[in-house]
Structures are given as C-alpha cells and as structure tokens.
Amino acid sequence: MAPAVSQTPQPLTLARQALAFGLGNAAAFASRVTGRGTGASIKGAIMMKIDPGLFRRLLAGKRIGVVSGTNGKTTTTHLLTAALRESVHDPRDVVTNPDGANLREGVVSALSTRPKAPIAILEVDEQVVPDMIRYGHPEVLIMLNFSRDQLDRHHEINALGRKWREALLAAGDQGPVVVANTKDPLVVWAASAAHRAVWIDMGTGWAQDAALCPNCGAVLTHDADQNWDCPGCELTEMPPDYRVDGGDVVRADGERQELGLKVPGRFNRGNAVCALAAAVEMGVYEPVALHGMRTVEAPAGRFAIGTYASAGARPTKARLVLAKNPAGWAESLLVMESDPVVLAVDSAIADGTDVSWMWDVEYERLRGRRVIATGPRASDLAVRLSYAEVDHEVIPDMAEALKGPFDSTVDVLSTYSAFLRLCRMGGVELK
C-alpha cells in the first residue's frame, strides 16, 4: 500500500510546530535530569497542547507498522524495528517509540525525533488503535492478544476488541494487513474484519480470558491440543500461516527457520514470529529480517542486567523481567532460573491499582525455591505465596531486597512502576 500523500504545512503551522518541538524537548530534558522518567509522555503532551494537529500531521506520508495487544508490545516493536532497519540503507529512516510510551502523546514524541523519516514502527496502546487505523493508514497491524490488564483504566477487553473490529470494518480495503494471534478468540474475531489477515500460532498457553465466544456468547470448546472452536457460530481458530515450534518458526508449507533470538522465553518467540510476518508483509526479505531481529538483547530494559549495592563482597547482579498482568506473569515465571527469585509488585496508576490479578497466577511453579517478595504490595503478594505453599520472605524495600548476598545473578520479576525504579537503581537504560 502506498503511503498517504502529505501536504506542505502553512508557515503559521510550521511556526506552531517549531514552538511545540522546542518546549516539548525542554520538558523532556527536565524530566530526565530530575529522574522522573524518559520524558517522552510529557514531551508529547506539551507538544499536542500547543499544536493539536500534530498527531495526524506527523503520521501523514509514512509507511507505518503498528504493534498492539495486552502483552509483548514493546519487545515485538523492537524486533520489527530491527528487521526494518536491517533492510534500509540508513537505519535513521525507521523511527520508533523504543521506551514504550504508546499513547497519542508518546507516538507524537517519537515521531518528532525524526519527522521526515519515511518509515514508522509504532507500539500503540489498545485504546489508540482505532485512531491509528483511521489517521495513520498503517500497512501492517500486529494484534498480539487481549488479556485483563489495568481494568481500573481500560474497559473490559471485549469492548476493546469490538472497537478494533469496527475500525477495521470502516477501513475496508484501505485498512492494514493484520498479523494476528490465532490462539486468541477475541483477536480472531476482531481481525476477521480486516481485508487480509496473516495468522500466527504464537505457541503460548494463557487461555483464562477466552472462555466465551466474542461473536455469539457461547462457551468455547478446546480439544486435547488446546485448539479452540465455537459450537454456536462460525468463529473458529484459523490455520496458522506461521507457527512457533521450539526455537524455530515454521511456515504453513513446512519451511522451517531457526529464530536464534537473544531475548529469552517462549512468549518472545511468539512475539518474534509476529514481527517476522509483519516485516515480510512490509517487503523485507525473511533472512534479512531474522538477522536484524537477532541483534535485539534488552528491549527497553527487559532482560537487562542491573547492578546493585550488596551486603556481600561484590555488588548484586540482577536480570530484570517485566510483567504487567496475569498472562504476562504466567509466561514470565517460566524464564525465572535463579534460586532465590525476587518478585516486586506495585500498584501505582501505571500498574493498575487493583492487584487481585495475583490470584490468577500459578505461583505454585516456584515451589521448592526461595522467593523474596518486595515492593509496595509485597504483603499482598506474600499472602498469595502462602496459599501457593511457596517458601518466601518479605522485604518491602527493593534496595534492601537486592542487597543479598547472592551466589550469582538473581532473576527479578516486577510490575511496571517497580521495574522502572529497578532500572534506575541498577543503571539500566530504557532504550
């Protein structure tokens, strides 16, 4: 699909845009030097306040790939960006929002760093997807999954799926090619409204948010291989065009390629296959895309190693893993390798204030290992660990929890706000 043709802005518009860029950059700098964050969101908010038309205008004329869903947006965006950058002469021709600022403000902030870049790969919050389809006219939209997440901020996931479906129906043949997770019934229902879909079996196992058919309300059935179907209507799991098999990606024709990723976990192999399919749809030769994706190591701090003051002779080394909801925690527990393992939970606005989701996570997987519960909601987590019969201790202060001493690198799984603090404490850059 050819990108939309942009018109040259008028002088007054250009002057307003220049003012927005200047003040936004100043606010971002202030945010960084005061330790409040990367500054991406406040930068975008100020820019849009001064120039409300920036969101639409900065999107115009670009080839755009969009990544959304409850889990895996940031890593998938990094993987797709790496694939596209590997395919162009100048990597600066591909602009992205690497720090995960994915509301309209974050998108504007990212695009303003390279306003003339011809390609944009954007992580987008689930609620922003309809506007991206309407105004950005993306070539490709990756739909990862729908899971309960921050229900004090989001509507129920079925409402989000309905908005995506309606936006795709309205776009018709001018809408994006959708790269969609065939294991998620709500994703399949929404994606079936696209003019073309590429179906991915991501190889992950979370199904607790997919009991009822989003189309007719019937109870979905699952066979021994966890393939799903609706007995009440035509909605069913679609045959995959790509699937994950161990560490490989397998096409529908049986062709197999090793992924060879540096980021761990089966969920990231699923993310990578989605990114690979999207890159191919955007014209990238598959081996080139894989070569680029294999360079991704710690997207926005995920799986990075932080360094912390220790009670022992040497500082603590900690591998930081981020999970924001029960589906993410269920998958992330599978990559926790250390003993002990540290679990950090907060309930700030960015996390969602309701932590009842902890009762849906199978912490029983940690039986036999020592667990350190930390963060502002460590006591709530300790109650859940007690019911799971997991040996644990409570150290609410995260700096104290990481003093150790530990024999080797310790795995730390945390919610978003705790993760950001751990990155700052451990000298991990969010890039």
Map residue 236 onto helix, strand or coil: strand
Residues 205 and 244: their CA atoms lie apart, in Å, by 12
Is 407 one of the annotated active-site residues of the chain? no
- Is 423 annotated as belonging to a binding site? no
Residue 130 neighbours by CB distance under 10 Å: 19
Among candidate residues 303, 297, 340, the one with its CA nearest the CA of residue 319:
303
- Is 274 annotated as belonging to a binding site? no
Residue 291 in contact with residue 86, Cβ under 8 Å? yes
Distance of CA 235 to the CA centre of its chain: 26
- Is 213 annotated as belonging to a binding site? yes
SS3 annotation, 71-106? CCHHHHHHHHHHHHHHHCCCHHHEEECCCCCCCHHH
Task: Output the CA–CA distances (angstroms, integers) from residue 92 to 43, 82, 105, 160, in the order listed.
Answer: 21, 11, 21, 33
Task: Output the CA–CA distances (angstroms, integers) from residue 40 to 62, 245, 394, in the order listed.
Answer: 21, 37, 34
Task: Output the CA–CA distances (angstroms, integers) from residue 68 to 17, 74, 333, 337, in the order listed.
Answer: 28, 9, 22, 29
- Give residues with Cβ within 8 angstroms of 109, minimum separation 6: 24, 28, 40, 41, 43, 44, 47, 97, 101
Residues 261 and 248: their CA atoms lie apart, in Å, by 10
Residue 89 in contact with residue 146, Cβ under 8 Å? no
Set 245, 354, 391, 397: catalytic member: 354
Map residue 245 onto helix, strand or coil: strand
Residues 272 and 246: their CA atoms lie apart, in Å, by 13
Residue 105 neighbours by CB distance under 10 Å: 23
- Is 233 annotated as belonging to a binding site? yes
Catalytic residues: 354
Binding residues: 213, 216, 230, 233
Binding residues for Zn(2+): 213, 216, 230, 233
